[in-house]
Amino acid sequence: MNENIIHQNYSITQKDRNKAFKHPSFVLWFTGLSGSGKSTIANALEVELFKENKKVYVLDGDNIRMGINKGLGFSLEDRNENLRRIAEVSKLFVDAGIIVLAAFISPTIKDRKMVEEIVGEDQFFEIFVDTDLETCEKRDVKGLYQKARKGEIKNFTGIDSPYEKPENPDVHIRTEKESVEDAVRKLINFVKNISL
């Protein structure tokens, strides 16, 4: 760290905010292939948590790349920087007392471990939205898989770039067997067991 940069401590802490908001703050990290349903489930969960007066916010890959990560490409280095920045933003949100629902492919175990280390092990929960490649391609509303198959998009996860499934996710959602509503119910029950 630069010797001219000094960490500033503030009077109000994350613990103070959690107590005031009457819930803990943490990150639910949704990982899975493009088209798996990560953002759809995160959005539906946000609605339900918001109804319960929880301070909650969704961070989504496309939206982040339109702003804070605008200008980053899809090289390995840029993908790593993309996730590092998202992890740092998530950490700030958690400190602010907010439940973060982060929906990002984050294709490697190493990627997700880096995020966990930045956010904090006790505040990071991995949600595996498990959807097979065939189903994701059928749902391909953006036409990305089709472009990747034609060679118009290089290093596309699931086609010519690997996806490493989580080894032991905190919540495992199988979208071929579970509806969005089922997934949200499962996640609500999981969230209820996260204590202050």
Residues labelled as active-site residues: 106
- CA 45 – CA 129 distance, rounded (Å): 13
Q: What is the CA radius of gyration of the chain?
A: 17
- CA 186 – CA 179 distance, rounded (Å): 11
**Ramachandran angles phi, psi of 46, nearest 5°:** -55, -45
Short-list 143, 144, 84, CA closest to 119: 84
What would the DSSP string read from start to end of 103-152?
A: E----SHHHHHHHHHHH-GGGEEEEEEE--HHHHHHT-TT-HHHHHHTTS
CB 25 within 8 A of CB 18: yes
- CB atoms closer than 10 angstroms to residue 96: 15
- CA 132 – CA 114 distance, rounded (Å): 25
